[in-house]
């Protein structure tokens, strides 16, 4: 008997010991870049007119007394590095574009919480003027998320183009090249040190994200501090390299946030009177309208005027507005009901897996965040340098945001009901969102992202397209979208992304 108890106890200890560590961030090491893009300073910027808009003085020469003093300071710091700083260097790596993108996604997941009803059945909306709330600001829903990621990535790219411009203009070598006694903690890459591209990323990311997530200002400032400390210890730059990077970052962030403050987002969550008139217009036009089904009913859908937000690369929203959805009661509509009932009645393992895999619902980083995570892995696979990485992220996120704007334009223009509104007794395995059905946001976001990734990494293009299709049909498996929401959304995302591809083709990077 006792033997049996011992066996059970040992089994327990074994199993306990085997429990997996669950990663809390993407693990990648500092790496040698496939290319250093010496012409990167000539690429076309998006926010500023050109790198020359930000003036950066010529740095001290590597044989100057000032520079030698900076080297001495660096070597002295490296002589007594704490384990914390070493860990931080390993965390930030030499391509921190990806790390700050990941931080943005985490904040999105943290703030992607829909405000619940008050005790009296009313709803209070987050208010940028009083971010502490309750409810806290922002509610980082997909439109908010795609916009935050777009501004972050575009500002990073403009910052790096500016940095590259001066790096190859002044050609000041890395500290570890100037002085053999300086230890280089990262993979060597032949990129001039002045200004520090990593410092640009640290500060511009902190500035943009602090504006997008005002309650996280202290948290982000602390991250920036630790990142800058890691940069200064890594052996590539001296203090003046870092300072120059910070200077560029602050200028770029100002321009980016200026655009953000006037892009129309602050009006996107329209007041009830406007939301009602949009709904009435749709009913007059088409004979149907969407209504929220929650208890208590939410009086306003999510961001009815997000479709009016300024786009990045599409000149006119109507150029990419899809045609109308099938009329209620039409053959295509009835066929979709049959399809949805089939999925709801037969939740297979595979359909359920797909529905949940792409769900990216409340409390997560949203579909734009999901595609940024996908892009991160591909960027590391291809060993892209920071400016190349941020180019992928910037153009992809511009296309995703343009896709979101176009999608929301269609959603509130057509105001099409959700399946649970029109099919009596219908039940879903995913939560139905608080906005009209047509077209599917997941389909548009995913198709736009897949189209951009296919453009940058053509050998994997068909894979991305497959993924986007799976993301689209996942919404049908979940029971929250019609067949035509998904199919039209895929087309819409593709056509929106085409405008961004046209811009990318002419940016001088190819």
Residue 506 found at the interface with another protein (CB under 8 A): no
**Spatial distance between the Cα atoms of 237 and 458, rounded to a whole number of angstroms:** 35
With 0-12 / 13-18 / 19 or more C-beta atoms within 10 angstroms meaning exposed / middle / buried, residue 329 is exposed
Query: Shortest approach of another protein to residue 503 CB, angstroms?
Result: 30
Q: Return the number of the residue (31 or 426) whose C-beta is nearest another protein.
A: 426
Q: Which two tokens stand for residue 382?
A: 């291809």
* Strand positions, DSSP E, 47-183: none
Q: Return the number of the residue (431 or 458) whose C-beta is nearest another protein.
A: 431
Query: Shortest approach of another protein to residue 115 CB, angstroms?
Result: 7
**Spatial distance between the Cα atoms of 235 and 241, rounded to a whole number of angstroms:** 11
Residue 66 CA from chain centroid, whole number: 40
Residue 114 found at the interface with another protein (CB under 8 A): yes
Residue 205 found at the interface with another protein (CB under 8 A): no
Query: Shortest approach of another protein to residue 459 CB, angstroms?
Result: 23
Contact residues for 82 (Cβ-Cβ < 8 A; gap 6+): none
Among 47, 56, 98, 109, binds another protein (CB under 8 A): 109
Query: Shortest approach of another protein to residue 36 CB, angstroms?
Result: 29
- Cβ proximity of 170 and 58 under 8 Å: yes
Determine phi and psi for 142, rounding to 5 degrees.
Answer: -55, -45
* Cα atoms found within 13 Å of the Cα of residue 281, Cβ hemisphere only: 11
Q: Return the number of the residue (53 or 291) whose C-beta is nearest another protein.
A: 291
Among 1, 55, 79, 273, binds another protein (CB under 8 A): 1
Residue 22 found at the interface with another protein (CB under 8 A): yes
Q: Return the number of the residue (130 or 261) whose C-beta is nearest another protein.
A: 130
**Spatial distance between the Cα atoms of 1 and 8, rounded to a whole number of angstroms:** 11
* Of the candidates 462, 465, 473, the residue with the CA atom closest to the CA atom of residue 448: 465
Segment near another protein (CB under 8 A); pick from 44-52, 158-166, 291-299, 330-338: 291-299
Residues 420-439 that bind another protein (CB under 8 A): 420, 426-429, 431-432
Site track for another protein across 334-373, x = CB under 8 A:
----------x--x-x--xx-xxx-xx-xxxx---xx--x
117 forms beta bridges with 123
The DSSP letter of residue 53 is G
Which H helix or E strand runs over 83?
helix 83-92
The DSSP letter of residue 91 is H
Q: Which two tokens stand for residue 128?
A: 């940028």
Please report, for residues 4, 10, 13, 14, the alpha-carbon distance to residue 1 in angstroms, rounded to integers and kept in the order given.
5, 14, 19, 20
Among 44, 75, 86, 110, binds another protein (CB under 8 A): 110
Q: Return the number of the residue (106 or 243) whose C-beta is nearest another protein.
A: 106
Long-range contacts of 115-119 (CB under 8 A, 24+ apart): 115/139, 117/296
* Cα atoms found within 13 Å of the Cα of residue 291, Cβ hemisphere only: 9
Query: Shortest approach of another protein to residue 2 CB, angstroms?
Result: 9
Residue 215 found at the interface with another protein (CB under 8 A): no
Residue 23 found at the interface with another protein (CB under 8 A): yes
Q: Return the number of the residue (20 or 506) whose C-beta is nearest another protein.
A: 20
Segment near another protein (CB under 8 A); pick from 52-60, 172-180, 292-300, 464-472: 292-300
Among 37, 85, 105, 384, binds another protein (CB under 8 A): 105
Among 24, 63, 122, 316, binds another protein (CB under 8 A): 24
Query: Shortest approach of another protein to residue 78 CB, angstroms?
Result: 31
Residues 456-485 that bind another protein (CB under 8 A): 479
Q: Return the number of the residue (421 or 498) whose C-beta is nearest another protein.
A: 421
Among 3, 5, 65, 129, binds another protein (CB under 8 A): 5
**Residue found by looking up tokens 């959805």 in the block:** 325
Q: Which two tokens stand for residue 183?
A: 């230890």
Residue 20 found at the interface with another protein (CB under 8 A): yes
The DSSP letter of residue 308 is G
- Angle subtended at Cα 426 by Cα 421 and Cα 429, rounded to the nearest 5 degrees: 105
**Spatial distance between the Cα atoms of 391 and 387, rounded to a whole number of angstroms:** 6
Give the binding-site size for another protein (rule: CB under 8 A): 57
Q: Return the number of the residue (116 or 299) whose C-beta is nearest another protein.
A: 116
- Binding residues for another protein, rule: CB under 8 A, are 1, 4-5, 8-9, 11-12, 15-16, 19-20, 22-26, 102, 105-106, 109-110, 113-117, 134-135, 293-296, 344, 347, 349, 352-353, 355-357, 359-360, 362-365, 369-370, 373, 420, 426-429, 431-432, 479
């Amino acid at each position: 008997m006792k033997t049996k108890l011992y066996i059970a106890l040992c089994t327990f200890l074994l199993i306990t010991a085997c429990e997996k560590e669950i990663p809390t961030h993407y693990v990648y090491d500092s790496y040698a870049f496939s290319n250093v893009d010496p012409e990167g300073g000539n690429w076309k910027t998006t926010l500023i007119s050109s790198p020359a808009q930000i003036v950066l003085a010529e740095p001290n020469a590597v044989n100057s007394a000032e520079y030698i003093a900076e080297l001495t300071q660096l070597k002295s710091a490296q002589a007594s590095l704490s384990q914390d700083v070493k860990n931080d260097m390993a965390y930030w790596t030499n391509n921190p574009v990806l790390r700050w993108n990941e931080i943005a996604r985490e904040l999105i997941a943290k703030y992607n919480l829909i405000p619940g009803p008050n005790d009296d059945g009313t709803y209070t909306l987050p208010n940028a003027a009083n971010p502490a709330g309750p409810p806290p600001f922002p509610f980082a829903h997909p439109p908010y998320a795609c916009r935050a990621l777009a501004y972050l990535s575009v500002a990073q790219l403009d910052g790096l183009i500016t940095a590259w411009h001066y790096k190859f203009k002044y050609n000041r070598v890395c500290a570890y090249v100037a002085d053999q006694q300086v230890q280089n903690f990262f993979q060597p890459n032949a990129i001039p040190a002045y200004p520090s591209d990593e410092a640009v990323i640290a500060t511009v990311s902190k500035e943009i994200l602090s504006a997008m997530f005002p309650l996280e200002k202290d948290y982000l400032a602390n991250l920036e501090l630790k990142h800058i400390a890691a940069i200064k210890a890594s052996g590539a730059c001296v203090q003046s390299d870092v300072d120059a990077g910070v200077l560029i970052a602050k200028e770029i962030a100002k321009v980016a946030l200026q655009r953000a403050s006037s892009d129309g987002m602050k009006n996107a969550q329209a007041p009830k009177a406007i939301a009602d008139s949009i709904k009435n217009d749709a009913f007059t036009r088409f004979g149907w309208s969407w209504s929220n089904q929650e208890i208590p009913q939410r009086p306003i859908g999510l961001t009815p005027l997000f479709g009016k937000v300024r786009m990045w690369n599409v000149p006119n929203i109507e150029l990419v507005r899809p045609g109308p959805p099938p009329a209620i009661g039409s053959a295509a509509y009835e066929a979709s009901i049959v399809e949805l009932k089939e999925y709801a009645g037969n939740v297979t393992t595979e359909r359920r897996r797909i529905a949940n895999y792409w769900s990216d619902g409340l409390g997560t980083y949203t579909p734009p965040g999901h595609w940024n995570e996908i892009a991160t892995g591909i960027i590391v696979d291809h060993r892209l340098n920071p400016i190349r990485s941020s180019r992928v992220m910037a153009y992809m996120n511009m296309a995703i945001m343009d896709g979101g704007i176009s999608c929301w334009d269609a959603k509130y223009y057509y105001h099409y009901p959700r399946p649970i509104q029109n099919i009596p007794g219908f039940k879903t395995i995913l939560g139905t969102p608080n906005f009209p059905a047509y077209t599917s946001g997941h389909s548009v976001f995913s198709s736009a992202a897949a189209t951009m990734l296919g453009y940058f990494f053509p050998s994997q293009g068909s894979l991305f397209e497959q993924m986007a299709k799976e993301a689209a049909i996942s919404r049908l498996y979940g029971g929250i979208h019609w067949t035509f929401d998904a199919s039209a959304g895929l087309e819409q995302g593709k056509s929106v992304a085409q405008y961004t591809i046209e811009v990318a083709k002419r940016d001088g990077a190819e």
